[in-house]
Amino acid sequence: MKKYKVLFVCLGNICRSPSAEAVFKALIEKKGEEPDFEIDSAGTSDYHEGEPADQRMQKHAEKRGYNLTSNSRPLKTEDFDKFDLIVAMDDNNYYDLKEKARSLEDEKKIVKMTDFSRKFEYDHVPDPYFGGSEGFEIVLDLLEDAGEGLYHHMKSTKN
């Protein structure tokens, strides 16, 4: 069977998208479907290339049982070929991705994480980098909620 391939994208790939990757991987593992999915994350910038996830983000994620293991990498053009869905955390990420898209086919793969929210009414996953600990908790709340919605979207639309 062909895998479902999803790439989570934020600005630095050290806070939100590595968390989205870990939260979504945990959700898929819980459902016993990890062989059917390929899950990765990237940044629209290369500001933190090669760095592990932000220490504060790691600490908050660990409290909920998520291990952030990825190292920051910038988005590559080939990501548009490889992935079925490219999931932006906020509008800046979304429009940066749209600018990098080479075709309508690429553009169609770009969505926003909060499009799949079920409980929360946020229209983006807020950047926690310059704020306090509450911001990191909100990121995780939003990702857990939208992750479920994204899973159901992928299952219902994949042919």
In the list 4, 6, 8, 14, the residue contacting ligand 4NP (rule: CB under 6 A) is 14
| Binder of ligand 4NP out of 122, 129, 141, 148 (CB under 6 A) | 129
The answer to whether 47 contacts ligand 4NP (rule: CB under 6 A) is yes
**How far apart are the C-alpha atoms of 81 and 43, rounded to whole Å?**
17
The whole-angstrom separation of Cα 17 and Cα 124 is: 13
- Binding residues for ligand 4NP, rule CB under 6 A, total 10
Task: Name the strands in the sheet holding 85-88, side by side, starting at the edge strand that comes first in the sequence.
Answer: 37-43, 4-10, 85-88, 110-112
Nearer to ligand 4NP, 21 or 127 (CB): 127
Q: Of 7, 11, 20, 28, which one interacts with ligand 4NP (CB under 6 A)?
A: 11
Q: Which of 4, 6, 13, 40 binds ligand 4NP (CB under 6 A)?
A: 13
Rg, Å, the chain Cα set? 14
Q: Which is nearer to ligand 4NP, 116 or 128 (CB)?
A: 128
Residue with tokens 């600018």: 99
Nearest to 45 by CA among 73, 70, 8: 73
Kindly state the tokens that stand for 22: 């870990």
DSSP line for 2-13:
PPEEEEEEESSS
Binding segment toward ligand 4NP, per CB under 6 A, in 9-17, 79-87, 101-109, 142-150: 9-17
Regarding 70 and contact with ligand 4NP (CB under 6 A), the answer is no
The helix or strand, by DSSP H or E, that contains position 32, with its residue range, turns out to be none
Q: Which is nearer to ligand 4NP, 4 or 15 (CB)?
A: 15
Active site residues: 10, 16, 127
How far apart CA 105 and CA 81 sit, in angstroms, is 10
Which residues contact ligand 4NP by CB under 6 A?
10-16, 47, 127, 129
